[in-house]
Chain A
Amino acid sequence: MTEILFAVFIFTLSAFLGFELISKVPPTLHTPLMSGSNAISGITIIGSLVVAGEEGSPLLTGLGLAALILATINVVGGFLVTDRMLRMFKRR
């Protein structure tokens, strides 16, 4: 039970932190914000690494491998494309 409460605790605080952080991002950076935060949500990759690498049935490994490929596209593509965009924002 304490474990569940602790997870909910972290979740709630993160939500408030997220709202605080994002409200400071100027509209001109909203697209990089989406692609960058999108790359961060690819964090699920660490779950897929474990499933793809642990001892398990072919079904489990298959699910893990599929998850890993999709998450890696998400992470690598997300960070790279964000970098490409942010490189273009210049001052006068």
Chain B
Amino acid sequence: METFIQVAYLLASVSFIVAIKMLSSPRTARLGNLIGAAGMLLGMIATLFYKEIVRYEWIGVGLAVGGALGAWTALSVKMTAMPQMVAILNGFGGAASALVAAAEAERALLSSHPSSAYFLTTIGLSVLIGAVTFSGSVIAFAKLQELISGRPVTLPLHHYQSLILLIGSIVALVGYVLGGGRVAMYGTALLSLLLGIWITLPIGGADMPVIVAFLNSLSGLAAAATGFVLNNYLLIISGTLVGASGLILTQIMSKAMNRSLWNVLFAAVGKGGPAAAAADRSIRSTTPEDVALMLSYAKDVVIVPGYGMAVAQAQHAVKKLMDALSAKGIEVRFAIHPVAGRMPGHMNVLLAEADVPYERLYEMERINPDFPQVDVALVIGANDVVNPAARKDPNSPLYGMPILEVDKAKSVVVLKRSMNPGFAGVENELFFQPNTYMLFGDARQSLEALTQALKEI
């Protein structure tokens, strides 16, 4: 029976690897996900054959309750709410890993054999990482769901407090390994829970992609640590794959913001950077009709979506505008900044939901050289990722961040609710350029008026 279980675990490991491999193309990705799910099911069924399992009633309850809740949320969540969905799922995975490790710790305490330092270390790590993942994800979820303010929340000397909590968690972990028992184990858990809260509270909206990717990585590492506790290779392999995945995404996101992970976690943004006096500078406000006219003369239009598109639920209106432009023979492309939105790939999912073919979505490196030839760049609810100060102004907090160079387009139209500066609290030079027109209002209503006006031309 042991052999059967291990062979099933091997197959499950392979299925996860295949699943991630098939994510390299949108054509194979869906089948890959199904293969991964099948592998998971196989692993679960094989586990039920362990001779240690003697009662099935609680297993039945757990699967029924968890399955119903999981299916219900997955099928009812809106695509715009995907960042908070992923955040909370990360948290649940982390918590489950920590709870399994805690159960192993409780069992070890009952046993008459002394536990090895290695075993205790793996338990401690699993509890620590799992607890940080859980509390950090809950805070990220609350911010994204706007249960609490999405703005950075900082206490006096906040980042020193975080560091102290980090050190405290590690000290408690060491205490547990040295024989501190239950108190040290739950102490580690408590301090780690606080640490997760403390590092996530100062994270503001625009930094969310970094922290969500980071928590994704931690949820994998928590599973891997639990794999070390149970000496289970399936857990080690799967957890590590996810840990690596999250780490790469974290790196991509931090790079796209020109900040290090350390800088995001232990230094809040949005405090510095004197906003230039805007009052005496003129902007050009425009109407949907004028923009429609401008677009009707264009050949090459690039749409730059940002978080504002998600907030206004404007992805379907964007698609209708794309169709109206295409019907007039105008080429429409989309420029996607890596950190546009609140999680990696956020804009892509929303546009996919609205049936925009993914071949029309261009990454930053691919589209930036084309901007000087673009007739109209239409910026929808994006701000910091198109701020030319990142290129030109060494004093700007955004300086050095790679941006979409829409300022080089022949004309720029910015759809925006008001003149409030972006998340970083930095004034955007783009809005004051002579070739920039501001179309104020709710993005969805503006787009609908624009599409209507275009059709009437």
Contacts and interface: CB of A to CB of B under 8 A. Distances in A.
Contacts of B27: 91
B137 to A, nearest CB: 10
A15 B220 CA distance: 11
Interface in B83-99: 85-86, 89-90, 92-93, 95-97, 99
Contact of A68 (B66, B229, B246): B66
Nearest to A35: B86
Contact of B90 (A18, A38, A49): A38
A27 B226 contact: no
A28 B361 contact: yes
A54 B54 contact: yes
Interface string A15-52: 10111011111111111111111111111111111111
Contacts of B74: 76-78, 80-81, 84
Interface in B69-86: 69-71, 73-75, 77, 79, 82, 85-86
B19 interface: yes
A89 to B, nearest CB: 4
Contacts, number: 368
A33 B23 contact: yes
Contacts of A19: 244, 248
A77 to B, nearest CB: 4
A36 B24 CA distance: 13
Contact of B71 (A10, A45, A47, A80): A80
B358 interface: yes
Interface residues of A, number: 80
Given A33-B249, A72-B70, A44 B100 contact: yes
A48 B29 CA distance: 29
Interface stretch (B43-51, B281-289, B373-381): B43-51
Nearest to A36: B33
A47 B232 contact: yes
B233 A7 contact: yes
Given A10-B236, A29-B29, A71-B66, A89 B358 contact: yes
Given A27-B344, A89-B358, A44 B235 contact: yes
Contacts of B311: none
Contacts of B107: 56, 60
Nearest to B363: A27
A46 B58 contact: no
A29 B24 CA distance: 8
A38 B219 contact: yes
Q: Main secondary structure on chain B at its contact with chain A?
A: helix
Contacts of B20: 18, 21-22, 25, 33, 36-37, 40
B34 interface: yes
A19, A36, A52, A77 pick with most chain B CB within 10 angstroms: A77
Q: How big is chain B's contact interface, by range?
A: 35 or more
Given A27-B336, A36-B19, A87-B30, A7 B66 contact: no
A80 B86 CA distance: 12
A59 B102 CA distance: 10
B240 interface: yes
B317 to A, nearest CB: 17
Interface in A51-67: 51-57, 59-61, 63-67
Contacts of B32: 36
A35 to B, nearest CB: 5
B212 to A, nearest CB: 7
B235 A69 contact: no
A72 B62 contact: yes
B349 A73 contact: no
Nearest to B12: A43
Contacts of B58: 52-53, 61, 64-65, 68
26 contacts: A18-B20, A18-B243, A23-B248, A28-B348, A30-B348, A31-B349, A38-B219, A40-B241, A41-B219, A43-B40, A44-B222, A46-B232, A47-B97, A50-B230, A53-B58, A57-B106, A67-B97, A68-B62, A70-B66, A71-B66, A73-B69, A76-B66, A78-B70, A79-B36, A81-B77, A83-B30
Interface of A: 3-4, 7, 10-11, 14-15, 17-19, 21-57, 59-61, 63-92
